[in-house]
Structure 1
Amino acid sequence: MAAIRAAGTKPEIRIRKALHAAGLRYRLNVTSLPGKPDIVLPRFRAVVFIHGCFWHRHECSLFRWPQSRTDFWREKLDGNAVRDQKALRALDEAGWRHAVVWECSLKGNEKLNFDETVHRLVAWIRSGEKSLDIRGK
């Protein structure tokens, strides 16, 4: 697990480049905010999380429960999901808007059109809506 990146993943970099190309400027992995969001847009008071479906226990085609050490993995992944929910609640209470872009929306059988995904994300950032959840088909 030491080789698993917490930041700078391929899906995260793709989204960051697209947001920059759309003229949006952001900060990365701000540790002072709950959940250490991947992308923070202070001007819009918005944060974006790019979640891997396995690590954040997303029920989609990319997620499979491991067959070995099942107790360990169940505890670890359940803990991740609980922490995610706490972070989103804390961001809500602090007045931040949040979006979650799931890995399955960017790759695999359920992936969405990347340009449409970025367009939805940019429109949400500029809209002022409270939250956005982008999942695969």
Structure 2
Amino acid sequence: MTTSSARSARPRRTKAIVLGSVALAFTVALTTAAGFWWQEHNRPSQASKADCALAQRIVDDAQRLPGDKAAVDKWEQDTMRMRRAQMKDGYLGYNVAQYEEWATDKAKGDGTPPSDKEVLRLSDKANEHCADAKVAITFPPLAS
């Protein structure tokens, strides 16, 4: 009796080991896939090279705003229309729009300009959207 019970216990144990290994492999694969999905889900949207170049052009133009309030208002409206019409990545556009607002406020003498740290933070957020395009947007400080 002991020999037959030992023989029947061995296949059960082998079957349990195989099923446990399969379950473990499935769990590891599922966890890896979920981690990859979570990382991609929380990654900033990626703008095209054209969007990043347009963003840099707008930031550069913001450095040369005229002193006339009416001309600044016209630039702001024209730039807003151009950004909305041409820029596909709305999240990058939002960051550029924030810089536009700061620059126009400074040109008009309205409000307090953002600190260099705030501009750097905005620059970092905008550049996250241009990582795949391998373009770095430079946001000059406005608090001078």
TM-score (norm 1): 0.33
Larger Rg computed on CA atoms: 2
Structure possessing the higher relative contact order (Cα contacts under 8 Å, 6 or more residues apart) = 2
More helix by share: 2
TM-score (norm 2): 0.32
